[in-house]
Amino acid sequence: MTRSHTIAILPGDGIGPEVVSCALEVLDAAETRYGFTTTRTEYAAGANHYLETGELFTEVQDQLRDADAILFGSMGDPRVTPGILERGFILEMRQRFQQAANVRPVRLYPGVPTPIAGLTPERCELVIVRENTEGAYVGQGSTVHAGTPNAVAMQESLNTRAGIERVVDFSFRLALGRRKKLTLCHKTNILVAAGQLWQEVVADVAQRYPEVETDYVHVDAMCFHLPLTPERFDVVVTDNLFGDIITDLGAVIQGGLGVATSANLNLDATAPSMFEAIHGSAPDIAGKGWANPSGAILSLALMLGHLGEGDAAQAIEAATVEVLGSLPALAGADMGATTAELGTRIADIVRSGRA
Amino acid sequence: MTRSHTIAILPGDGIGPEVVSCALEVLDAAETRYGFTTTRTEYAAGANHYLETGELFTEVQDQLRDADAILFGSMGDPRVTPGILERGFILEMRQRFQQAANVRPVRLYPGVPTPIAGLTPERCELVIVRENTEGAYVGQGSTVHAGTPNAVAMQESLNTRAGIERVVDFSFRLALGRRKKLTLCHKTNILVAAGQLWQEVVADVAQRYPEVETDYVHVDAMCFHLPLTPERFDVVVTDNLFGDIITDLGAVIQGGLGVATSANLNLDATAPSMFEAIHGSAPDIAGKGWANPSGAILSLALMLGHLGEGDAAQAIEAATVEVLGSLPALAGADMGATTAELGTRIADIVRSGRA
Ligand SMILES: CC(C)[C@H](C(=O)O)[C@@H](O)C(=O)O
Ligand SMILES: CC(C)[C@H](C(=O)O)[C@@H](O)C(=O)O
């Protein structure tokens, strides 16, 4: 019997539809080559959808629940007030589908230029796991005496034992299949209560994984270690806000948002996980064929790995790396090929089984 | 009449005393050359003092109140539980002396190697101003059901209109004497209440400084812009926690903690300001003569500028940059000279007026 997967496709705004369409061409090739099929349903979501309908997509989110996975392009438009789509869609999705772990590989692919002098691919092969549902992301905060000289704004960060434990346990399991090292990143000397809870959970869970070595780095010091000695890290686990910050630094190191990708993982199989490139909707270059589809295609690879199609995932990654390494520029007019041409090039390699 | 300044000297732990002693030799030279005098009182503070006396220095902090400025080395020792000195001394000092602005220049000096490929000194000349007394640094947080599966840890970030306004106003004044650009760095799409208050204050204060252009960057995006396009920034103002993180990234860009320096400024002349290198106490290399005294000497320059000795400050900075640019390595056994030799070399240049 052929393996089959149900996939929800959310192209989104700006360059989203262009790069997702490349990813789907690559998916076609992978299905042919690796003998599985997918049922795909495309959904309109994002700024255009919101501007046209006034709907934030909350309405259809429940329809996505039955998908095996969600492939997401990018979202955002200068005409929509910042915060609306972020909170109304991305954060809503992470919460509603309990996508507890945001997993972002930081891998320098051969041939991709990094801004860090002297950094080589062998030294840069780590994964950052960010807690994706709590911490400083739990609410919008509150303000007293707003608009007066006495105004005080409070933000709260809520951290639960259960929320931390599920992402820490996942991180240990991930490390077990890798170089067996887990680093907690926090700011325990200042955020004492939350820091202690994180450290306690890591220490407790570590007992279930005696093969994995554990380590701790403050988030400020991480800004040093990540660019200068990334080889020090295998799996880094951190809270929601620190994860938001250091994964962008991770993306810089690996050559930019264009090649970075992420998985929002539901860890208890109660709802689908979502896979996305990290880049934004880049409305300024949308429609020009200047966007690099690698981020979207690598997120497709992450998705297929998650669905058990490991061979296809590896082939897609290898093909993407091959094409990436041949480009004169990573995006823009000087990329040497259009978005669609790059997609076809990668799809061809996957179909041929050359990768 | 000769200008005279009262200075409190806190060498601290590890390499602190070595590098501060270099700074004092340079100060002697500057006094001779630029015709001012200082009254210096040295205080024991830090891990050794704490281990010997059980005192956290809180006791003598009030004696420092009459100093015109404080020159601080570094603090920390593996024998002291992390957090004790940080909270008991550094944070206590910032609070008690209302050192509202933590000012960290991010400047790539000619000849100093940066890990960012292709970055040149002309492109890297900015100052980060960090709010230094509130935000997530206000307390230790609280935990309910500690030690049980139901444990929840809460951290709060408190942001007052008055606290934000003083540091924002200072930042605008700073920008006015520079390239007239101020960038707010925050995470307004998530930390909505605090973000709004920061944005409101920046918009209000901006009206008093119409010549200064303002701009906004999310803290996660800052991890991109700071290393890749630092020329985009002149003065960056940000909250306590984000400032802690991005100033370490700033230090990476300018060639490392060894050359980074910072001022903890009291803005209302109710207590002295404190000047410190950013590096730690590096107990592993203490006493070996391997520490680079540049951070401490540059913080002396910042201090003298603050005390109105602008010519001396400029000469010290220029002399330090000259010597820094001539070193085969920035620290360690390969530095090509000992800590003390470097101090003397810089002092000689300052004394000769060559810089
Ligand atoms: C868009 C924004 C809400 C989001 C976040 O802060 O998590 C983004 O920065 C990310 O990292 O996915
Ligand atoms: C030592 C620590 C408390 C301190 C901070 O977090 O502010 C340090 O990292 C700094 O940046 O001065």
The beta strand positions in B245-322, using DSSP E, are: 261-265, 273-277
Cross-chain Cβ contact B190/A143 below 8 Å:
no
Range B133-156 average pLDDT: 96
* Cα B35 from chain centre: 27
Q: Which of A116, A141, A251 has the CB atom closest to B117's CB atom?
A: A116
Q: For position A12, what pLDDT does the model report?
A: 92
Residue whose Cα lies nearest atom 3 of ligand 1: it is A86
Q: What is the DSSP letter of B15?
A: T
Higher pLDDT residue, B332 or A340? A340
Q: Which of B13, B50, B187, B239 is the catalytic position? A: B187
Range B246-256 average pLDDT: 95
Beta strands at B36-42 and B125-131: parallel, antiparallel or unpaired: unpaired
Torsion over CA of B114, B115, B116 and B118, rounded to 10 degrees?
Answer: 60
Tokens of B73: 């080395």
Which residues of chain A lie closer than 8 angstroms to B152, CB-CB? 158-161
User: Closest-lying ligand to the alpha carbon of A240?
Assistant: 1
- Yes or no: say if A101 and A134 are a contact pair by the CB < 8 Å rule: no
User: Phi and psi dihedrals of B229, rounded to 5?
Assistant: -140, 60
pLDDT digit string (tens) for B258-267? 889 999 999 9
Any chain A CB within 8 A of the CB of B228? Answer: yes
pLDDT tops 90 at residue A77: no
Only one residue has tokens 């509130």, namely B134
Which residues of chain B lie closer than 8 angstroms to A190, CB-CB? 86-87, 91, 136-137, 241, 244
B259: exposed, middle or buried (Cβ count in 10 Å: 0-12, 13-18, 19+): buried
Higher pLDDT residue, A139 or B263? B263
pLDDT tops 80 at residue A167: yes
Pick from B137, B245, B247, B248 the residue to mutate for testing the A interface (most A CBs within 10 Å).
B245
Whole-number average pLDDT of chain B: 94
Residue A131: its H or E element: strand A125-131
Cross-chain Cβ contact A248/B149 below 8 Å:
no
Q: Which residues does B135 contact at the CB level (< 8 Å), separation at least 6?
A: B157, B158, B159, B194, B239, B240, B241
- Percentage above 90 pLDDT, chain A: 82
Q: What is the DSSP letter of A89?
A: I
Q: pLDDT class for A46, splitting at 50, 70, 90?
A: confident
Q: Which of A150, A160, A244 has the CB atom closest to B152's CB atom?
A: A160
Give the closest residue to B206 by CA, choosing from B155, B168, B233, B177. Answer: B168
pLDDT tops 90 at residue A338: yes
- Please tell me the distance from the alpha carbon of residue A243 to that of residue A247, in angstroms, as a whole number: 6
Measured N-to-C along each axis, helices A310-324 and A16-34 cross at an angle, to the nearest 10 degrees, of: 130
Q: Tell how many helices (H) and how many strands (E) occur in chain B.
A: 12, 12
pLDDT digit string (tens) for B33-70? 999 999 999 998 888 889 988 888 777 778 899 999 99
pLDDT tops 80 at residue B355: no
Whole-number average pLDDT of chain A: 94
* Cα A320 from chain centre: 17
Q: pLDDT class for B133, splitting at 50, 70, 90?
A: very high
Q: What angle (nearest 5°) sits at the alpha carbon of residue A104, between those of residues A103 and A109?
A: 145
Helix (H, G, I), strand (E, B) or coil at A270: coil
What is the CA(B86)–ligand 2 centre distance, in A? 7
Only one residue has tokens 């919460």, namely A95
Cross-chain Cβ contact B116/A115 below 8 Å:
yes
User: Phi and psi dihedrals of A165, rounded to 5?
Assistant: -60, -40
Q: pLDDT class for A49, splitting at 50, 70, 90?
A: confident
Cross-chain Cβ contact A187/B246 below 8 Å:
no
What is the CA(B86)–ligand 1 centre distance, in A? 31
Torsion over CA of A276, A277, A281 and A286, rounded to 10 degrees?
Answer: -120
Pick from B169, B241, B247 the residue to mutate for testing the A interface (most A CBs within 10 Å).
B241
Cross-chain Cβ contact B153/A246 below 8 Å:
no
What is the CA(B265)–ligand 2 centre distance, in A? 15
Question: The sheet that has B142-144: what strands, in order across it?
Answer: A142-144, A152-160, B152-160, B142-144
Any chain A CB within 8 A of the CB of B149? Answer: yes
Q: Ligand 1 site: residues with CB under 6 angstroms? A: A 86, 90-91, 244; B 189-190, 220
pLDDT tops 80 at residue A1: no
Give the closest residue to B50 by CA, choosing from B8, B24, B79, B21. Answer: B79
Residue of A189, A191, A192, A242 to test ligand 2 pocket, by largest number of atoms within 8 Å of CB: A189
Cross-chain Cβ contact A157/B161 below 8 Å:
no
Q: For position A61, what pLDDT does the model report?
A: 79
Q: What angle (nearest 5°) sits at the alpha carbon of residue A266, between those of residues A26 and A136?
A: 115
Q: Which residues does A5 contact at the CB level (< 8 Å), separation at least 6?
A: A36, A37, A38, A39, A68, A69, A307, A309
Which residues of chain A lie closer than 8 angstroms to B116, CB-CB? 115-117
pLDDT digit string (tens) for B189-244? 999 999 999 999 999 999 999 999 999 999 999 999 999 999 999 999 999 999 99
CB atoms within 10 A of CB A214: 17
Residue A49: its H or E element: helix A47-53
- Please tell me the distance from the alpha carbon of residue B112 to that of residue B15, in angstroms, as a whole number: 21
* Cα A160 from chain centre: 23
Residue whose Cα lies nearest atom 10 of ligand 1: it is A244
Which residues of chain A lie closer than 8 angstroms to B143, CB-CB? 193, 196-197
Helix (H, G, I), strand (E, B) or coil at B37: strand
Residues 49-88 of A with CB under 8 A from B: 82-83, 86-87
- Please tell me the distance from the alpha carbon of residue B179 to that of residue B75, in angstroms, as a whole number: 35
Question: The sheet that has A261-265: what strands, in order across it?
Answer: A36-42, A3-12, A69-74, A273-277, A261-265, A101-107, A125-131, A235-238, A181-186, A213-218
What do you get for the CA distance between the two ends of chain A, in Å?
26
Helix (H, G, I), strand (E, B) or coil at A277: strand
Any chain B CB within 8 A of the CB of A191? Answer: yes
- Domains, chain B, ranges and CATH? 1-97+271-355 (3.40.718.10), 108-256 (3.40.718.10)
What do you get for the CA distance between the two ends of chain B, in Å?
26
Catalytic site includes residue B244 = yes
Residue of A90, A131, A132 to test ligand 1 pocket, by largest number of atoms within 8 Å of CB: A90
Query: SS3 sequence, B113-175?
Result: CCCECCCCHHHCEEEEEEECCCECCCCCCEEECCCCCCCEEEEEEEEEHHHHHHHHHHHHHHH
CB atoms within 10 A of CB B40: 14
Range B7-28 average pLDDT: 96
pLDDT tops 90 at residue A60: no
Only one residue has tokens 């897609």, namely A316
- Yes or no: say if B102 and B132 are a contact pair by the CB < 8 Å rule: yes
Chains A–B, number of C-beta pairs less than 8 Å apart: 186
Lowest mean pLDDT among A116-130, B15-29, B80-94: B80-94
CB atoms within 10 A of CB B285: 17
